[in-house]
Structure 1
Amino acid sequence: MMFNKLIQAIYYDRSKTRPIRWLLAVSICLLLVIFSPQPAFATVTQIEETPGQMLYQSRQNLRDRTGKSWQVVAFKRVHPDGSEMVSLRLVGFLGAVELDHTQPLTLTTSMGQTLTAKDVTNEISQGTTALANVGEYDIQPVLPQLQSKISLQLTLPMLTGSAVELQIPSTAIQEWQTIADR
């Protein structure tokens, strides 16, 4: 009996239902925004640089904790002789950052696992002076240890002694592993 009166009050007294409907609509919209899947940041591209030499890459544009923009490029170069290397190139805004190329890149998973990747910037630049805002790291040894569904934090050492932190979404890690498997 009481339930019927409640139903009648909801259906017949519109002044009470409008706030409830509005609140329900806003709640549904918020839930859809919060729990919708993250869009893919990039796609894996394949380029034949020279006959028999392939380059596979994935690019993301991310911001560090201070809001500075970074380009994050994972790539695998396969040479005609079959040798290959998987690298991660990090490019910050020129003049805004100076990477310390004597230190490794630190990778920390959201589960607390810490790994390091060797800085190979000077090896890659082949005698030319490396730009202070560009770092290249050998990530081939650490990729198999990363879980593709867990996000990652990169810690880049700076010449000032401080560090820059970049949050890497799990979708990027999945792309990096796709590149390494090609």
Structure 2
Amino acid sequence: MLRRFLQSFWWMLLLGILTMLIFLGLEIKSYQTAIAAITKFEQVPGEIIYRSHLKLDDQSGNTWQVILWKQIYPGHPPSVNLRLVGFPGSAELIHPQPLRITKATGEVLTAPDVFLEEAPVPSIGQYDFQNILPKLPIEPLQLGIPLPVQHFINISVPPSVVQEWQSVVSN
């Protein structure tokens, strides 16, 4: 009887451990890893650009290039922009429409569209992040790229990326 009880106990323990590992694996997969590095370069003498460049997936699995940069011109205040580049066929963005940034608390911020009429390519959006970035805590965000008829493409941004963006601005 004791032997049967111990055998059942070990099987239940093994089943519990396997279940936990499966759920942990699913949880880890739900957060994207984003590896990027901040680069600094001088495009023309006196003009310095600090840039973060990485790739993130939207809710449909399409990959987007996400580029945040701070540009410094001598005698001018720095500018901070976020450019989202979808690969061909991913989406056709409408301009000028603001980017919707949703914080983990549910608060929604908007970044103005830099392209007043149309983008050089239909799958590119560029947004002024000068006043937005200081308001972003280091927590998960969701970027809502506007599409026609009140639809949005949503891109999840992990906290590590927000932290990197903060580093770009602090340079």
Which bracket does the TM-score occupy, shorter chain normalised?
A: 0.7 to 0.9
Larger radius of gyration: 1
Which of 121, 143, 147 does residue 154 from structure 1 map onto? 143
Which of 111, 115, 121 does residue 115 from structure 2 map onto? 121
Q: Which amino acid aligns with 2:170?
A: D
Structure 2 unaligned regions, length at least 5: none
Distance 2:21 2:149 in 1: 45
Distance 2:142 2:7 in 1: 50
Do the aligned residues in 2 keep the contact of 1:122 with 1:130 (CA within 8 Å)? no
Higher mean C-alpha deviation, range 75-84 or range 138-147? 75-84
Work out whether 1:106 is the aligned partner of 2:100: yes
Distance 1:154 1:38 in 2: 14
Distance 2:20 2:106 in 1: 34
Identity percentage of aligned residues: 35
Superposition deviation, residue 162 in structure 1? 2.2
Aligned residues: 169
- Aligned-pair Cα RMSD in Å: 3.0
Work out whether 1:138 is the aligned partner of 2:128: yes
Do the aligned residues in 1 keep the contact of 2:33 with 2:158 (CA within 8 Å)? no
Distance 1:52 1:59 in 2: 22
Distance 2:33 2:150 in 1: 35
Superposition deviation, residue 130 in structure 1? 2.5
Q: Does the residue aligned with 1:176 lie in a helix, a strand or coil?
A: helix
Work out whether 1:54 is the aligned partner of 2:51: no
Query: Who is 1:68 aligned against?
Result: 62
Distance 1:40 1:155 in 2: 18
Q: Which amino acid aligns with 1:118?
A: P
Structure 1 unaligned regions, length at least 5: 1-5
TM-score of the superposition, structure 2-length normalised?
A: 0.80
Do the aligned residues in 1 keep the contact of 2:96 with 2:116 (CA within 8 Å)? no
Distance 1:122 1:42 in 2: 29
Distance 1:159 1:30 in 2: 39
